[in-house]
């Protein structure tokens, strides 16, 4: 919202400076975004008079002028090349040291062709105020020398721009801003009363309203005998100052009231309207040309104004060229209406049309102003353009905008932390236009003014069988209002300055700060950290992928198919991040980077809902090491990755089991399912199915894992004691057990671990052998058992006793024999 200082003073009686006004605007919540002061750049320029102008003795096109620059300046000699420089001419003088904006130079005293020159006589182009011409600017005869040219020309009028929040439609009017400033102690609000213009004839146009939901009330009147020429200079200057281009007197008047009172208006050329009626109605797919030259197609959701020939205006947003006023207009019809803010906003967004009218209507305008605004506009049109006005015609009725709000005085200190006396509270509200209905020692009830649509907003209740007759009546009238006490408190605090509200820290709920992350977020972060530490690179993929690719990794129900995907190959919610990871491996392999370790922690989708999955892929070969080659990745690599994540998340790794029923995108004989008990599946791992890899053109081994982080139970919260570190060295013993080929190594490890729980601290499988050195149908499992003494060093006899227990436990549980 832009306005000039002089425009503000039309409504605000104040002697405050621009800086004081801007400071107050900031404190009351109308943030100043910028101030343009054209007079500041013109401050050095002065009015002057050429006392004498003679021919330069050494140049045919130069004249030597003796200039009277007013008090404080002795007559100064200036060499000037303008052909119109002559004795007695009033001019604009720039003393030495002045920056000339039109030439981008700073002048200084000097000599030109042997004659001294102590300044410059300027044209308007050199001041940056006009187009180029053949001479210096000529001021009116009798202009007193020594005046500031900015004051003389009326250019010392700063332009202030403020930011207006969406709820403050009243601040999109100069009068609304003046009212706020007056209430905050900057001057006094000048009275404003529209002068009634009596109608002398019946309007040639009438209203019909077929869309009252969008336009509850519309007024209009005709003015005949107008002359639509250029608007007066004062009006053009105000519009130019705020960035609007003057068009004609009739159009400029409507733009003036949009900013002066926040009241959008529209004018129709009566002679270009077909028929004797304008109708407010829904659009029906028609096309009309708007005033900005665009062809607009309206829909039944759009409110339009139509005549007998069709749509002539998109109501509340933009008029049409077909009935717009021109220089030939002699009879004009002025429209002043109320429109539904939501419908205006939706139509403007849908059609991509922006205007000052839409900006105000969609934020809410003064619902009691239409009559007075129409009278004010009529008076200005008659004064500036001549003519006589008709009677006012209307359709609909004024809305029931009246509402009340209650404020308890004690709540101001309780919510805002500022003590304000009851008398000061009432005075502030009255200064903002709230009328006191009732006051007692506890609080006050006020009538909300018509221009404050943000206070005690109406809320219509749904009709229901249990609604009492009285509440049903109130609901039908739309008069139920939400609690407005906070709105009034905000107004009281705002007028005292938002910076005066004391900062108060939130109370601490406990001495120990609460965690900032929920357990699910902690799991995801931990999984990322562990996998990154294991040398894998994190990727972030879309939660949707190609339908065909997703079907290779699980069920793809139609309920998870996208109806409007961002791309044709991203039309399915992915069942697992593995879809994206394998595509990344495929792309990198095609570019010569087959050896990868990638992971992603993200959602997977199924008919049962969304699951948080930590997925990883390793492809190609492990890094080469000195003295050896590069081994291809194996399922044991990704099993180790998965187990590391589970251990970091507090899962009981020693109690999990692995079964050979992984889903179909894994190799059936080189994969496993990690289970906690018979029912809880924590994840799966293994080599991807050869057919899946062949279909992607991948000829290197690819192994992966998927962990369901939501399935991992939270570890019990307990006070952790420091670990008991033994001062004694651990003892390692290796065993080679001969077992049947179908015996799982996990069964052997579990049996060995349970043989002696006091001394056995770790059991690890280090070798699997199947060959001609063992009987047919058998395999040899190499197991390392770590014994950790606590109280004292173990004797050989004690070590042998534990070893015997291990052998006995494994033999009993797995039918194993100790290999010789």
Of 457, 406, 597, the residue nearest 169 (C-alpha):
457
Average pLDDT of span 637-657: 91
Average pLDDT of span 128-141: 80
**Residue after which a domain boundary falls, among 396, 431, 463:** 396
Please tell me whether residues 381 and 457 are part of one structural domain.
no
**Axis crossing angle, helix 174-183 with helix 249-260, rounded to the nearest 10:** 30
**Residue 585 in domain:** yes
Query: Could you give the CA distance from residue 492 to residue 443 in angstroms, rounded to a whole number?
Result: 13
pLDDT at res. 131: 66
Dihedral angle of Cα 6, 12, 13, 18, to the nearest 10 degrees: -50
Distance in angstroms between the alpha carbons of the first and the last residue of the chain: 94
pLDDT at res. 719: 65
DSSP symbol at 126: T
pLDDT at res. 520: 87
DSSP 204-238: S-EEEES-TTT-SEEEEEEEES----PPPHHHHHH
SS3 99: strand
Please tell me whether residues 331 and 468 are part of one structural domain.
no
* Burial 308-329, CB ≥16 within 10 A → b, else e: eeebbbbbbbbbbbbbbbeeeb
Structure tokens at 52: 């004498």
Query: Could you give the CA distance from residue 177 to residue 30 in angstroms, rounded to a whole number?
Result: 8
SS3 311: strand
pLDDT at 468 over 70: no
Average pLDDT of span 476-501: 75
Please tell me whether residues 44 and 30 are part of one structural domain.
no
pLDDT at res. 458: 53
The rounded percent of the chain whose pLDDT value lies above 90 is 73
**Residue 506 in domain:** no
**Residue 265 in domain:** yes
pLDDT band at residue 457, thresholds of 50, 70 and 90? Answer: low
Exposed (0-12), middle (13-18) or buried (19+): which is 202, by Cβ within 10 Å?
A: exposed
* Burial 233-262, CB ≥16 within 10 A → b, else e: eebbbbbebbebebbbbbbbbbbbbbbbbb
Average pLDDT of span 139-154: 88
Which residues are CB-contacts of 570 (< 8 A; sequence separation ≥ 6)? 542, 544, 545, 546, 562
Query: Could you give the CA distance from residue 248 to residue 555 in angstroms, rounded to a whole number?
Result: 68
- Residue 490 annotated as part of some ligand binding site: yes
Average pLDDT of span 794-813: 93
Please tell me whether residues 637 and 613 are part of one structural domain.
yes
Q: Cβ(215)–Cβ(338) under 8 Å?
A: yes
pLDDT at 155 over 60: yes
Please tell me whether residues 622 and 763 are part of one structural domain.
no
SS3 548: helix
Please tell me whether residues 543 and 659 are part of one structural domain.
yes
Dihedral angle of Cα 734, 739, 742, 743, to the nearest 10 degrees: -50
Look up the pTM and report it: 0.62
**Residue 200 in domain:** no
CATH number at residue 326: 3.50.40.10
**Residue after which a domain boundary falls, among 352, 372, 396:** 396
Domain count, the chain: 6
pLDDT at res. 465: 42
**Residue 423 in domain:** yes
* pLDDT tens figures, 268-319: 999 999 999 999 999 999 999 999 999 999 999 999 999 999 999 999 999 9
Stronger pLDDT, 370 or 499, i.e. the higher one:
370
* Weakest mean pLDDT among 214-223, 456-465, 532-541: 456-465
Query: Could you give the CA distance from residue 744 to residue 675 in angstroms, rounded to a whole number?
Result: 15
Query: Could you give the CA distance from residue 297 to residue 335 in angstroms, rounded to a whole number?
Result: 22
* pLDDT tens figures, 337-389: 999 999 999 999 999 999 999 999 999 999 999 999 999 999 999 999 999 99
Of 319, 54, 25, the residue nearest 186 (C-alpha):
25
CATH number at residue 148: 2.40.50.140
**Residue 201 in domain:** no
CA distances from 638 to 604, 644, 673 (A): 20, 10, 12
pLDDT at 483 over 80: no
Please tell me whether residues 53 and 126 are part of one structural domain.
yes
* pLDDT tens figures, 239-281: 988 989 999 999 999 999 999 999 999 999 999 999 999 999 9
Query: Could you give the CA distance from residue 471 to residue 124 in angstroms, rounded to a whole number?
Result: 68
Across 589-665, the runs of DSSP E, i.e. the strands, are 596-606, 609-619, 657-659
Please tell me whether residues 225 and 357 are part of one structural domain.
yes
Please tell me whether residues 301 and 366 are part of one structural domain.
yes
* pLDDT tens figures, 676-690: 988 899 999 999 999
pLDDT at 68 over 80: yes
pLDDT band at residue 133, thresholds of 50, 70 and 90? Answer: low
- Residue 491 annotated as part of some ligand binding site: yes
* Burial 581-600, CB ≥16 within 10 A → b, else e: bbbbbbebbeeeebbbbbbb
Q: Cβ(132)–Cβ(82) under 8 Å?
A: no
Which residues are CB-contacts of 460 (< 8 A; sequence separation ≥ 6)? 475, 478, 480
CATH number at residue 469: 3.30.56.10
DSSP symbol at 564: S
User: H helices then E strands: how many in the chain?
Assistant: 21, 42
Of 78, 12, 13, the residue nearest 50 (C-alpha):
78
Average pLDDT of span 599-617: 95
CA distances from 524 to 515, 601, 610, 647, 810 (A): 15, 6, 15, 14, 38
Please tell me whether residues 484 and 532 are part of one structural domain.
no
CATH number at residue 592: 3.30.930.10
Please tell me whether residues 668 and 786 are part of one structural domain.
no
Which residues are CB-contacts of 412 (< 8 A; sequence separation ≥ 6)? 418, 419, 420, 425, 489, 492, 493
Query: Could you give the CA distance from residue 597 to residue 636 in angstroms, rounded to a whole number?
Result: 14
DSSP symbol at 710: G
Q: Which domain holds residue 164?
A: 2-37+158-189
CA distances from 302 to 208, 370, 397, 627 (A): 16, 22, 21, 78
Please tell me whether residues 453 and 409 are part of one structural domain.
yes
pLDDT at 470 over 60: no
Query: Could you give the CA distance from residue 722 to residue 373 in angstroms, rounded to a whole number?
Result: 80
**Residue after which a domain boundary falls, among 468, 498, 528:** 498
Largest CA distance in the chain: 130
pLDDT at 460 over 70: no
Average pLDDT of the chain to the nearest whole number = 90
pLDDT at 632 over 60: yes
SS3 618: strand
DSSP 17-53: -HHHHHHHHHHTT--EEEEE-HHHHTTT-EEEEEEEE
């Amino acid at each position: 919202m832009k306005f000039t200082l002089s425009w503000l003073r039309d409504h605000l009686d104040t002697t405050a400076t621009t800086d004081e006004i801007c400071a107050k605007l900031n404190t009351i919540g109308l943030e100043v975004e910028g101030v343009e002061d054209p007079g500041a750049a013109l401050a050095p320029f002065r009015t002057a008079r050429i006392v004498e102008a003679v021919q330069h003795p050494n140049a045919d096109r130069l004249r030597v002028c003796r200039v009277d620059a007013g008090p404080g300046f002795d007559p100064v000699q200036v060499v000037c090349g303008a052909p119109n420089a002559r004795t007695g001419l009033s001019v604009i003088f720039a003393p030495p040291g002045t920056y000339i904006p039109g030439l981008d130079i700073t002048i200084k005293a000097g000599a030109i062709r042997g004659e001294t020159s102590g300044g410059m006589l300027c044209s308007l182009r050199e001041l940056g105020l006009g187009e180029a011409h053949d001479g210096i600017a000529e001021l009116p005869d009798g202009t007193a020398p020594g005046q500031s040219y900015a004051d003389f020309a009326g250019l010392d009028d700063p332009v202030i721009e403020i930011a207006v929040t969406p709820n403050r439609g009243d601040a999109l009017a100069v009068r609304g801003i003046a009212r706020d400033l007056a209430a905050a102690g900057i001057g006094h609000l000048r009275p404003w009363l529209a002068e009634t213009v009596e109608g002398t004839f019946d309007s040639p146009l009438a209203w019909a309203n077929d869309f009252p939901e969008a336009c509850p009330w519309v007024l209009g009147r005709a003015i005949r005998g107008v002359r639509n020429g250029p608007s007066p200079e004062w009006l053009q200057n105000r519009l130019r100052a705020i960035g609007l281009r003057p068009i004609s007197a009739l159009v400029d008047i409507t733009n003036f009231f949009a900013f002066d009172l926040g009241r959008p208006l529209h004018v129709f050329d009566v002679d270009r309207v077909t028929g004797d009626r304008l109708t407010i109605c829904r659009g029906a797919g028609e096309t009309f040309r708007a005033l900005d030259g665009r062809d607009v197609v309206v829909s039944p959701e759009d409110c339009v104004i139509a005549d007998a020939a069709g749509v002539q205006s998109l109501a509340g947003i933009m008029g049409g060229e077909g009935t717009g006023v021109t220089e030939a207009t002699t009879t004009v019809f002025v429209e002043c209406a109320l429109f539904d803010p939501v419908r205006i906003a939706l139509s403007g967004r849908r059609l991509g049309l922006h205007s000052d009218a839409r900006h105000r209507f969609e934020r809410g305008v003064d619902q009691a102003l239409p009559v007075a605004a129409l009278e004010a506009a009529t008076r200005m049109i008659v004064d500036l353009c001549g003519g006589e006005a008709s009677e006012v015609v209307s359709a609909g009725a004024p809305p029931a905008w009246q509402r009340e709000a209650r404020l308890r005085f004690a709540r101001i200190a309780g919510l805002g932390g500022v003590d304000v006396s009851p008398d000061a509270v009432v005075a502030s509200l009255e200064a903002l236009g709230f009328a006191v209905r009732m006051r007692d020692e506890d609080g006050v009830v006020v009538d909300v003014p018509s221009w404050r649509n943000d206070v005690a907003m109406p809320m219509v209740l749904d009709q229901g069988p249990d609604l009492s007759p009285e509440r049903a009546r109130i609901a039908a009238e739309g008069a139920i209002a939400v609690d407005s006490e906070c709105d009034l408190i905000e107004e009281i605090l705002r007028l005292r300055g938002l910076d005066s509200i004391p900062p108060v820290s939130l109370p601490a709920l406990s001495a120990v700060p609460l965690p900032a992350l929920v357990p699910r977020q902690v799991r995801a972060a931990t999984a990322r950290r562990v996998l990154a530490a294991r040398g894998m690179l994190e990727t972030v993929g879309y939660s949707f992928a190609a339908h065909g690719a997703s079907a290779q990794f699980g069920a793809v129900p139609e309920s998870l198919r996208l109806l409007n995907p961002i791309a044709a190959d991203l039309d399915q919610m992915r069942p697992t991040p593995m879809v994206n990871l394998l595509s990344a491996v495929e792309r990198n392999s095609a570019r010569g980077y087959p050896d990868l370790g990638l992971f992603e922690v993200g959602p997977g989708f199924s008919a049962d809902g969304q699951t948080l999955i930590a997925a990883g892929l390793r492809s190609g070969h492990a890094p080469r090491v000195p003295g050896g080659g590069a081994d291809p990745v194996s399922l044991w690599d990704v099993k180790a990755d998965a187990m590391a994540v589970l251990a970091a998340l507090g899962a009981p790794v020693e109690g999990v089991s692995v079964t050979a029923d992984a889903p179909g995108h894994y190799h059936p004989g080189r994969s496993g399912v990690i289970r906690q008990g018979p029912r809880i599946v924590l994840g799966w791992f293994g080599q991807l199915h050869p057919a899946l890899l062949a279909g992607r053109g991948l000829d290197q081994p690819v192994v992966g894992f998927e962990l369901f982080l939501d399935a991992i139970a939270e570890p019990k919260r307990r006070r952790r004691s420091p670990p008991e570190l033994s001062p004694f060295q651990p003892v390692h013993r290796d065993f080679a057990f001969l077992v049947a080929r179908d015996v799982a190594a996990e069964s052997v490890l579990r049996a060995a671990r349970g043989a002696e729980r006091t001394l056995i601290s770790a059991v690890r499988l280090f070798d699997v052998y199947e060959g001609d050195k063992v009987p047919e149908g058998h395999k040899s499992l190499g197991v390392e058992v770590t014994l950790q003494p606590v109280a004292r060093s173990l004797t050989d006899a004690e070590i042998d006793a534990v070893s015997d227990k291990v052998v006995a436990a494994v033999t009993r549980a797995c039918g194993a024999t100790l290999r010789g």
